Amino acid sequence: MKCPVCKKYNTTEKFEINSYKILDCAACGHRFTGLKLNKEDIKEIYSDNYFFEGKDGYPDYTLEKDMLTGRGEKYAEIASRFMDPGTLLDVGAAAGFLMKGFENKGWKVVGVEPNSSMAGYGKENLGLDITVGTIEEARLDITVDLVLLIQVVAHLYDLDGSMDSINRILKKRGYLLVETWDKDSFMARLLGRRWHEYSPPSTLNYFSRETIDLLMGRHGFEKISSGRPGKKLHSRHAKSLLRHKLESSKSFKWLAGFEKILPENKYIPYPSEDLFWVLYRKTGRS
Ligand SMILES: [Zn+2]
């Protein structure tokens, strides 16, 4: 199987999850599923169930509204160290909560999202411009100063196609902000195959700080800055994820006590040692 990051054929099987093979590239260290999906599969995976029925997705995505809007504002502050507010595209925008945070800080915001209910929610309730589709297929006739890939790059089914679209849409010397999970983090290594991010077919690629740089470098981006977001999780989302883990694995029974001590309707801090962000800039070489 060809590695989607370095393009070499040197993979070994690491483990299997929900009968999907998880592969390691011996050449660059990237981990991925090798699943070939199309846009019909994507509609199925990101149906309303993903946003409202728990399991590997969300019990109710709209609970994340205030937290995500706040995070958008935080990222807008980070971006303001490098650029003035301009136009941005949020890839996998869901209901547009993150976009709203940037809008609050003076950005003109556009989104693309495969789930039509989520896009509709953002349009109707927040007045946002969100196109229904995937970045791989949507024909977006815009140019922007910044593209957001916030917890999205691991879900993209065609990395090169997506990056080509992003390069078309981004202005010369434009910026790309990526937030993703680190498969080489302490938490990921501690939990092994039980790490929450291993949830194919929703997630397809499992990056490290090195492999995300490799992918972006190959598409003409250089790293400008990086850090870790302070993450908060709604307690109902935390309970739902815990319940899903308890159902799917006997060795997680020890977690049962945690569900009882979690508050009912609050945001709780989530240790985000396994989550990081990187700001890239187009070098002009591609
Ligand atoms: Zn590779």
Q: Is residue 4 part of a domain?
A: no
Distance from C-alpha of 2 to C-alpha of 171, rounded to nearest angstrom: 30
CA 195 / ligand 1 centre spacing (Å): 21
Q: Is residue 155 part of a domain?
A: yes
**pLDDT score at 255:** 64
Mean pLDDT, residues 148-161 taken together? 95
CA 14 / ligand 1 centre spacing (Å): 14
The pLDDT of residue 286 is above 60? no
More confident residue, 199 or 232: 199
Q: Which residues sit with Cβ closer than 5 angstroms to ligand 1, an ion?
A: 3, 5-6, 25, 27-28, 30
CA 4 / ligand 1 centre spacing (Å): 7
Number of domains in the chain: 1
Query: Which of the residue ranges 8-22, 31-45, 169-183 has the most confident prediction, judged by mean pLDDT?
Result: 169-183
**pLDDT score at 285:** 60
**Where in the sequence is the domain holding 223, given as residue range(s)?**
11-282
- pTM (two decimals): 0.87
Q: Is residue 1 part of a domain?
A: no
H helices then E strands: how many in the chain?
A: 10, 13
CA 32 / ligand 1 centre spacing (Å): 10
Residue with tokens 């846009």: 39
3-class secondary-structure state, position 251: helix
Domain of residue 21, CATH code: 3.40.50.150
Read off the pLDDT band of 271 (50, 70, 90).
low
Q: Is residue 2 part of a domain?
A: no
CA 159 / ligand 1 centre spacing (Å): 13
Q: Beta-carbon neighbour count of residue 68 at 10 Å?
A: 21
Q: Is residue 118 part of a domain?
A: yes
Read off the pLDDT band of 243 (50, 70, 90).
confident
3-class secondary-structure state, position 225: strand
